[in-house]
Amino acid sequence: MTSAMILASEFNPIKPKGDELVIGTIAFLIIFVIFWKKLLPNIKKTLDERTDAIEGGMKRAEEAQAAAAALQEEYQRNLTEARHEAAKITQHAREQGAEIVAQMRGEGQEQRDNLVAGGRAQLDADAAATRSALKGDLGTLAIALASKIVGESLEDEARQRGTVDRFLSELEAKADAEAGAKAGA
């Protein structure tokens, strides 16, 4: 046991030997200088690049997001303008359609009125021509009938015409009075 104690007393991990301490310190300094001069700048450069990439990526993402938001806003604005323009066009088309319908109705009404007025004028002209023709024929027939009934010839034509005209005027006056009474009722 004594030899183990001797060995244990010679080896103390807390108190290293002087030559090992010097060699360890020199090796540490060499490794530290190599690390400080060669490896640390590369590590720092790599870390800076990663930081820039991350921050730049975030910045680019924010810019892309802002650009997308602006593009979406412009799209919405254009869509709103297009809808507004479509509503204006639709309203204008409706107004034009209403104007065209009103114009066509007016033209149709005017054509109808012209046709009715022309028809009435034609009817009035035909009625006047028929009255005139019937007046002469009626007078001749009435005189012929009266001659047969009375048995004498009624040859005084001026007197015949006057009598027939007076009779027909009285009939027309009665017909006009009845038409006026019906129109008033």
Instruction: Give the residue from 169, 180, 173, 102 showing the smallest Cα distance to 139.
Output: 169
Question: What's the pTM value of the predicted model, to 2 decimals?
Answer: 0.38
| From 28-42, 49-63, 113-127, 150-164, the region with the lowest mean pLDDT | 150-164
Query: What residues contact residue 164 under an 8 Å CB cut-off, 6+ apart?
Result: 135, 138, 139, 142, 143
- Which spans in 14-39 are helix H? 18-34
Residues whose CB falls within 8 Å of the CB of residue 165, separated by 6 or more in sequence, listed in order = 135, 139
For 153, the 3-state DSSP assignment is coil
Q: What would the pLDDT profile of 76-85 be if each residue is shown by its tens digit? A: 999 999 999 9
Please write the tens of the pLDDT for every residue from 28-72.
999 999 888 988 888 899 999 988 888 887 888 888 899 999 999
